[in-house]
């Protein structure tokens, strides 16, 4: 991928997509094509085809997806399955039709079996049952990965698939019904401190372990993969993570300290824990030459600071 080439970032406003945009811009890529939802509905097959025929991108990052935390996934499986299948089918097929040189599809660490050995190696895909709370989303992502592999085999394309672990960073979704745990806890602890509340409710038991990757690290990893690697080197999927995880209890303690909340934690066991652990084995991407840079401590500081700034901006508006 060279800096004069035309690069389409699908989902450029999301957590992953906006990080890809920053990583591309910092490397001098200026020929970036983006469309917001009002300009291009990725669920509309004909519109997506027409867009590709007109724009003729050389490279595509497919970061557009319907995403959400554990409860949103559990309660709306049909939407997660249908929308993600439609978006990825439309974009991948149109990319192939228009002769796109290289495409990078973004999956998720939840594609791996719930109870597979840890850390999770890429070859554990489809070796066991999925976690029930996000089965629909995972099935869609597995279908996307297999579609890329099928195009590569049948048509000789170079469509890569990256499987990132749980992401976080500035500009995340802070809606408590649909967000992931990290932004949810930032908001809950911040509001509890502001309102002098004595406790914060944390879902589940606090025992599950999660691995968190800062969004700019993901952006760097994806641009690295697009620039340096071919699908034959990465295999059907390549893990992107830090190789380190912490319990939800420990995460809650760290966020509570960062925010300056002095009250108690209460665990709501009515809410699901989800998968007990999904630590990625990142030796394949390390061997190719990429390593994460931002520690969880630093990433949490940056994310909380961006959250506070967004509140100030909202007040000023
Ligand atoms: O981040 P999260 O929603 O998603 O939840 P998953 C991670 C863990 O944090 C679960 C607990 O054990 C939650 O019960 N948790 C504690 C909370 N308090 C909260 C809270 O206030 N909000 C939320 N959301 N969780 C999702 C999948 O799984 O992760 C998707 O459903 C996708 O498919 C995504 O893979 C990365 O890590 O469990």
133-180 pLDDT, tens per residue? 999 999 999 999 999 999 999 999 999 999 999 999 999 999 999 999
pLDDT at 200 over 90: yes
pLDDT at 2 over 90: no
Distance 7 CA to ligand 1 centre (A): 32
pLDDT score, position 233: 94
pLDDT score, position 230: 96
pLDDT at 127 over 90: yes
Quote the CA–CA distance of 28 and 24 in Å, as a whole number. Answer: 7
pLDDT score, position 101: 86
Distance 180 CA to ligand 1 centre (A): 5
pTM of the model: 0.97
pLDDT at 265 over 90: yes
| Mean pLDDT value of segment 259-281 | 97
Average pLDDT of every residue of the chain: 97
29 is catalytic: no
pLDDT score, position 83: 98
pLDDT tens per residue, range 223-233: 999 999 999 99
61 φ/ψ angles, rounded to the nearest 5 degrees: -100, 120
Quote the CA–CA distance of 242 and 21 in Å, as a whole number. Answer: 21
Distance 273 CA to ligand 1 centre (A): 8
Q: Name, in order, each residue with C-beta under 8 angstroms of 137's C-beta and a sequence gap of 6 or more.
A: 66, 67, 73, 77, 80, 81, 84, 108, 110
| Mean pLDDT value of segment 9-16 | 98
Mutate-to-test residue for ligand 1 from 163, 167, 203, highest number of ligand atoms within 8 A of CB: 203
Angle at 269 between CA 263 and CA 270, to 5 degrees: 120
Nearest CA to ligand 1 atom 21: 184
Nearest CA to ligand 1 atom 29: 69
What atom of ligand 1 comes closest to residue 185's alpha carbon?
21
Closest CA to 215 of 9, 16, 47: 16
pLDDT score, position 316: 87
Which is catalytic among the residues 29, 112, 124, 137? Answer: 137
pLDDT score, position 189: 98
pLDDT score, position 4: 84
Ligand 1: lining residues by beta carbon, under 6 Å = 69-70, 73, 108, 110, 133-134, 137, 166, 179-181, 184, 202-204, 208, 210, 248, 271-274
Q: Which residue has the higher pLDDT, 3 or 14?
A: 14
State in Å, rounded, how far the first CA of the chain is from the last one. 40
């Amino acid at each position: 991928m060279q800096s004069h080439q035309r690069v389409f970032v699908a989902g450029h406003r999301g957590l992953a997509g906006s990080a890809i945009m920053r990583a591309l811009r910092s490397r001098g890529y200026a020929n970036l094509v983006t469309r917001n939802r009002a300009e291009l509905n990725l669920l509309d097959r004909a519109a997506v085809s027409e867009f590709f025929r007109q724009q003729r991108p050389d490279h595509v990052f497919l970061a557009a997806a319907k995403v959400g935390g554990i409860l949103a996934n559990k309660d709306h499986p049909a939407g997660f399955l249908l929308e993600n299948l439609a978006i990825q089918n439309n974009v991948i097929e149109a990319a192939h039709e228009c002769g796109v040189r290289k495409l990078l599809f973004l999956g998720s660490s939840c594609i791996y079996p719930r109870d597979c050995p840890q850390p999770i190696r890429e070859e554990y895909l489809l070796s066991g049952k999925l976690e029930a709370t996000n089965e629909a989303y995972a099935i869609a992502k597995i279908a996307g990965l297999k579609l890329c592999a099928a195009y590569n085999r049948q048509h000789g394309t170079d469509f890569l698939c990256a499987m990132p672990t749980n992401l976080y960073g500035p500009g995340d979704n802070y809606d408590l019904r649909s967000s992931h745990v990290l932004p949810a806890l930032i908001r809950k602890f911040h509001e509890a401190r502001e309102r002098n509340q004595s406790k914060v409710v944390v879902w589940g038991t606090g025992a599950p372990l999660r691995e968190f990757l800062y969004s700019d690290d993901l952006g760097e990893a994806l641009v690295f993969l697009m620039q340096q690697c071919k699908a034959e080197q990465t295999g059907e999927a390549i893990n992107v993570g830090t190789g380190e995880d912490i319990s939800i209890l420990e995460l809650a303690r760290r966020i509570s300290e960062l925010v300056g909340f002095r009250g108690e934690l209460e665990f709501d066991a009515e809410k699901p824990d989800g998968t007990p652990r999904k630590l990625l084995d990142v030796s394949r991407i390390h061997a190719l030459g990429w390593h994460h840079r931002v520690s969880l401590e630093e990433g949490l500081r940056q994310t909380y600071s961006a959250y506070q700034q967004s509140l100030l901006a909202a007040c000023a508006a």
